[in-house]
Amino acid sequence: MSEKINLIINGEEISVTEEKGDTALLSFLRDEMGLMGAKNGCGQGQCGTCTVIIDGEAKRSCLWKLKRINGSTVETIENLNKDGQLHPLQIAFLETGAVQCGFCTPGMIMSSKALLDKNNNPSEDEVRDALKRNICRCTGYQKIIESVQLAARYLREGVEIKENYTTDAFGKSVIRNDGLDKVQGASIYVDDYSKEDMLHGKLHLSEEPHAEIVDVDISEALQVTGVVEVLTADDIPGEKNFGLILDQQPILAYDRVRYVGEPIALILAESKEAAAKGSKVIKVEYKELPTYYKPQDALDEDAIEIHDDGNTLTHLQLRKGEYEEAFEEADVIVEDTYQTPFVEHAYLEPEGGLAEYNDGEITVWTPSQSSHKYQGMIAASLDLDEEEVRVINTCTGGAFGGREEPTVQIHAALGALVTERPVKIVLNRKESIRMSTKRHAAYLNYKMGATSDGKLVAAEAKIYTDTGAYASAGIPVANRATTFTFGPYVIPHAKVDTYSVYTNNLPGGAMRGFGSPQVCFAAERHLDKLAGELDIDPLEFRLKNALEEGKSTLTGHVLGAGIGFKDCLLELKESLAKEEYDLKDNQKIGIGIAGGYKNVGIGHGLPEDNQARIKLNKDGTFTLYVSCVDSGQGSDTAMAQVATEVLGCFYQDIEVIASDTDHISDGGVTTASRMSFLAGNAVKGCATKLKDKVLENASKVTGIPTERIELQGRDFINNVTGERIISLKEVANDYSGLKAKYDYHPPETEPIPEQNIPAYPTKDDDIGKIHFSYCYAVHAAIVAVDKETGEFEVLKIIAAHDVGKAINPKGVEGQIEGGVSMGVGYALSEEFYLKDGWPVQDTLSKLNLPNTANIPPIESIIIEEEHPEGPYGAKGMSELPVSPVAPAITNAIYDAIGLNINQIPIKDKLITK
């Protein structure tokens, strides 16, 4: 008789046979007990998403085999909600806004509970130390740290839970409408789904960075016990390529591979283990080809073509004014080169998809940034009509641009179609890093000239972006880099050449900032050098040249109202004046300034309409269908706030269903900080139409004119007498099913002008309106540098952002803090590169992501320069916070010791002249 392994899990005695002793606790909790709160973000103990409490200590459950914890007591996130009462930590996480995508939240809360169980009054340093093994890519950690200290106070003093139903939600820091599930570990991500008779998929990935495929031998894989089918490109019934812009990238490589990590075969098996075994025995015969890992090498005249149309994906040219002669007007000219790295998105939920084939239709459950884009690509590859494919967006564990295009979703759908069984594919972390797109590396040469009084007169730039093996988002990224080359400043004369170049690196795709962080680093570093040569304060130099209403952008767009860049500069100046510093011996303070601006909307003349639908339910609640995806940024909450402002109902009475292709038309990709503006206006429009219908029917029921009826919460009020008339539910009983739909059409835009742009355009020129709106920011970094050793410390980041109108102020702060955290990583530690074609940074720990131990304090300043066409003045802002951080930090080091840093990341805390 075999020995038993005995555990107490959430108060329940559990016994398992010793044969299961090598099972990881995480797998046992999820697969055997159905406790899905602990997440698998890496399976290597490097992210903390799987954290539980074992015998009073926070432990990463993916590392602990059952045989190691025999006799132990285990507590998971599911045990915190006692008798329907949230734990103080769960309450505090909700109240502070510490929840975004939610994938890290259960692990964060369990690590925090282990701390508070021992110490109910921890210092900030103690909180930071306790959470340093838990990664969060969304929040920037600040609100998480605040929430732990707030929960500690609640534990000491008690906490009263308030229902806090409100009709006054717009512009207020209401609790996220998905927050309650997330703090309880109840949100369902794609790997939490399962289907009866489900197969598991595994992709066999290329092991060569550039080679012709001579033969793919799957025979041995088909003999592996549990393997049901192995598919190659020949098994794809429709289009064999896909792509965000160009249908260029093979779903399964068939003639050539162009990077290590390209899928070649799909193994479908009864278990994950069998699928993995099948992948290992597939044999691919390659004929190696030359490899190129820098744009300059790929453009060499002797380089072979990575694609048939050459190694230049696109070359964009912008010409403005008399760009050659204008440098003669300059008293100071500075020229220099800059370099920025590839960066991994590192969202904590690995890529995944679940597909099912029923009655001639495919349904796919997946996190994405556009269900409709996925729908179109899946349908094309399977040779189906789009109406035969339904894509349902699951709770999404972070995106940052990386989920704009499919990874495994087409493969899962293909497997379901061929086998007529459900198929789930979820990448492990190494596969995710090896397959997914990255932020484009960039090589930039800048030349700028200014007069002695500090006015910019001319600028020139040549930019090379590395788009990797396939086009992905390379063309629009080059567009953004060109549009924002010199930042939010008036440049009368300019010349820009931007090249997007193929290499054998992983594809460069969409990532938060989308071409702007690269040029922001170069431009803002360059401005500080100019200011230094002119002996002008860097902030005052920026004020002299700042964009404002009536001034034109680099592309010639004469700006209207809603330009808050100068306000950001002035508010930042005021905030810096209040700072006090506690320096150690030999330390010198440096203060660095960097500005930035970013498009709201895709622009460039492309269509980007958006639709929203809303209906009244029989119980008096509303269901709102939106064509945008909440990847953690809070768009579901913001859309409910907009609808509440229109209708007058309780914020809590609006259910939001996002990006389900069966319920809403295509509103485009959730990208480019566009959804607050576009989806917000669509929601405002449909809610207004429904409000009119509801009031009309309330009038029919009561006999009171519509102009005297107003909805307040769940009751209609006579707006003259203030008396209650009738409940919304009573009206809904008679008129449930009332619906409204609204299609929002934003202002028209145009591509980057091909002709020479006037140096000083006017509105009459009607040129260069690349985007209908922009958001603006200025960041300050405060650093302390040891003058002898070169060791430096980032003491604080202050970030001032013009957001139009903050729909949810805590949500806006969370976006600023999360973006700043990503920017700190970009500046100091994060990079991604290949050696012999293989990723060097192939685990989360090697990526050097910021954590609670090293992220500096962040002060957010919200500027509300309302946009006349935004919903109640709002505009987007979530991408921009990344961009100004790296130049602000490097400018601060320059300010402290005069050291020019032209390449990031700095990599370590020691800098030398």
Percent of the chain with pLDDT over 90: 94
pLDDT value at residue 585: 86
Contact 595, 488 (CB under 8 A): yes
User: Contact 613/607 with Cβ under 8 angstroms?
Assistant: no
Q: What is the pLDDT of residue 843?
A: 98
Predicted confidence at residue 252, as pLDDT, reads 99
pLDDT of 3: 87
* Residue where the block lists tokens 């449930």: 736
Residue 736 has pLDDT above 90, yes or no: no
CB atoms within 10 A of CB 228: 19
pLDDT digits (tens, 9 = 90+) for 308-345: 999 999 999 999 999 989 999 999 999 999 999 999 99
Residue 161 has pLDDT above 80, yes or no: no
pLDDT of 95 > 80? The answer is yes
Four-residue CA torsion sign, 364, 370, 372, 378:
negative
- pLDDT (tens digit per residue) in 630-680: 999 999 999 999 999 999 999 999 999 999 999 999 988 988 889 999 999
Contacts 24+ apart (CB under 8 A), 581-585: 581/782, 581/784, 581/795, 583/784, 584/784, 584/786
According to the model, what pLDDT value does residue 2 have? 67
Q: Does residue 1 have a pLDDT over 60?
A: no
Per-residue pLDDT at 584: 86
What confidence score (pLDDT) does residue 651 get? 97
Q: Is the pLDDT of residue 695 over 90?
A: yes
Q: Please spell the DSSP secondary structure of 4-60, one letter per residue.
A: EEEEEETTEEEEEEGGGTTSBHHHIIIIIT---SS--S-SSSSS-TTEEEETTEEEE
Structural contact between residues 344 and 438, judged by C-beta atoms closer than 8 angstroms: yes
DSSP state of 898: -
Give pLDDT, residue 386. 97
Q: Confidence class of residue 737 from pLDDT cuts 50, 70 and 90?
A: confident
* Percent helix / strand / coil, the chain, rounded to 5: 30, 25, 45
Angle formed at CA 168 by CA 162 and CA 171, multiple of 5 degrees:
105
pLDDT for residue 552 is more than 90: yes
Query: What residue has token string 């995508």?
Result: 101
Judging by DSSP bridges, how do beta strands 456-468 and 441-450 pair with one another? antiparallel
Is the pLDDT confidence value at 160 over 90? no
pLDDT number for residue 765: 85
Lowest mean pLDDT across 55-69, 474-488, 756-770: 756-770
Share the mean pLDDT of the chain: 97
Percent of the chain predicted with pLDDT > 70: 99
Quick one: pLDDT at residue 909? 64
Q: What is the structure's pLDDT at 67? A: 97
Q: Are strands 4-9 and 12-17 parallel, antiparallel or unpaired?
A: antiparallel
Q: What is the pLDDT of residues 439-481, one digit of tens each?
A: 999 999 999 999 999 999 999 999 999 999 999 999 999 999 9
Handedness of CA 522, 527, 528, 534 (dihedral sign): positive
**258 band by pLDDT with thresholds 50, 70 and 90:** very high
Task: Kindly provide the b/e burial profile for residues 276-293, where b requires at least 16 CB atoms within 10 angstroms of the residue's own CB.
Answer: ebbbebbebebeebebbb
Cβ-count burial 143-168 (b if 16+ within 10 Å, e if not):
bbbbbbbbbbebbeeebeeeeeeebe
**Mean pLDDT in residue range 88-115:** 98
Average pLDDT over residues 873-902: 97
What value does the mean pLDDT take over residues 836-842?
96
Task: Say which amino acid occupies 684.
Answer: K
796, 794, 815, 813: which is closest to 905 by C-alpha? 794
Q: What is the mean pLDDT of residues 501-528?
A: 98
Determine the residue type at 27.
S
State the pLDDT at residue 734. Answer: 84
Nearest to 876 by CA among 798, 781, 772: 772
Mean pLDDT of 38-54: 98
- Amino acid residing at 319: R
Using pLDDT thresholds of 50, 70 and 90, give the confidence band for residue 907: confident
- The model's confidence at residue 275, banded by pLDDT at 50, 70 and 90, is very high
What whole-number distance in Å separates Cα of residue 11 and Cα of residue 697?
A: 53
Instruction: Please report the domains of the chain, with CATH numbers, ordered by start residue.
Output: 1-185 (1.10.150.120), 193-289+351-426 (3.90.1170.50), 438-603+753-897 (3.30.365.10), 610-744 (3.30.365.10)
Do 855 and 821 form a contact (C-beta atoms < 8 A)? yes
**pLDDT at 725 exceeding the cut of 80:** yes
Mean pLDDT lowest among 298-312, 380-394, 575-589, 878-892: 575-589
pLDDT at residue 881, as a whole number: 98
898 touches 611 (CB < 8 A): no
- pTM for this structure? 0.97
Torsion of CA 611, 615, 620, 626, to 10 degrees: -30
Burial class (CB in 10 A: 0-12, 13-18, 19+), 718: middle
Q: Which amino acid is at 391?
A: V
pLDDT at 908: 65
